Structures are given as structure tokens and as C-alpha cells.
Amino acid sequence: MAIDQSKLGQLIQEQMQEIENDPDIPENAQIGRVVSIVEIVGPKGQEGEFTNIRVRANARPYVAIGLLEVAKIGQLKQMGA
């Protein structure tokens, strides 16, 4: 079964465009660690909707957890919390 990857590709493309256009990021900056979180949602079956969360990181687990915490704080600030 093939899963349409275009949504993930589009999101990454938008993220990279925002990074490239951000005047606060210096020219010589590099991408460091990356964490991706993907929610997989399937059709409703006998036991309800199928949902699975996949997390991948190119960092040691404790670094990935720290990045997730920083991202969480950023998202909460965007929500006004």
C-alpha cells in the first residue's frame, strides 16, 4: 500500500522557503538536527479510526526530546498560551 507523500514534501518545501527568506538567519547558517512528526490516519474500522504517530530524528534521544520541548513552547506561544 502506497501512502501519498506529497503532503510531507510540500510541508518541508514550505519550511525550507521560510528558512531561506528569514532575514534573521545568517547567510552562513546550516541546518542542524531535524525532528519530524507524522500522524498517520486511516479509515474507521470496527475499533474506530486508525491513528499512528511516527517520530524520527537525526539526534540522540535526549537531544530530540529537548528539540520537541522547544517546539512545544513555540507552538504554545503562537496559540497565545
Q: What is the pLDDT of residues 22-58, one digit of tens each?
A: 999 998 999 999 999 998 888 776 666 788 899 999 9
Predicted local distance difference test score (pLDDT) of residue 42: 82
Percent of the chain predicted with pLDDT > 90: 73
Integer Cα distance of 33 and 65 in angstroms: 12
